[in-house]
């Protein structure tokens, strides 16, 4: 089998992994949450307005204060949303999984395990 065929097969197998499926489900729930999407849209608009205000030669300090307060409020509402939290958690799990997969590929190529920043795994930091 050619390398690209093996890579395609690996990609298909990874796609079937429950961690990937869980992340896709969390992504779909995140994307279909109208309230969350509205908050994100407003957050982005407020952030753009703040950036524009900061770029002005004469800044309106009171306007900046109001926008910053609203951005902070929106940030907390977004962060507290269970669908946002579920997506972030699922992404972290998938990122760790993909790091393991990439680490194994690297090991198979080099014969050395990548640094995990846990010195008990490689003794490289001593």
Strand, coil or helix: what is 117?
coil
| Vertex 30: Cα angle to 23 and 77 (nearest 5) | 125
- 49 lies in some domain: yes
Other CB atoms closer than 10 Å to residue 58's CB: what's the count? 4
State how far the Cα of 43 lies from the Cα of 24, in Å rounded to an integer. Answer: 24
- 122 lies in some domain: no
State how far the Cα of 32 lies from the Cα of 4, in Å rounded to an integer. Answer: 35
Residue 53's domain comprises: 16-106
- 2 lies in some domain: no
Around 103, how many Cα atoms within 13 Å sit in the side-chain half-sphere? 13
- 1 lies in some domain: no
Q: Across the chain, what does the average pLDDT equal? A: 92
The predicted-structure confidence for 58-85, as pLDDT tens digits, reads as follows: 999 999 999 999 999 999 999 999 999 9
């Amino acid at each position: 089998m050619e390398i690209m065929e093996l890579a395609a097969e690996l990609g298909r197998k990874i796609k079937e992994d429950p961690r990937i499926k869980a992340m896709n489900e969390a992504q779909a729930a995140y994307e279909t949450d109208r309230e969350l999407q509205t908050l994100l849209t407003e957050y982005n608009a407020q952030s753009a307005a703040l950036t524009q205000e900061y770029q002005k030669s004469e800044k309106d300090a009171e306007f900046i204060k109001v926008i910053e307060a609203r951005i902070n409020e929106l940030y907390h509402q977004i962060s507290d949303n269970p669908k946002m939290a579920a997506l972030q958690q699922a992404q972290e799990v998938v990122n760790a999984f993909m790091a393991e997969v990439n680490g194994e590929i690297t090991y198979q190529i080099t014969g050395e395990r990548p640094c995990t920043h846990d010195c008990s795994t490689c003794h490289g930091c001593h």
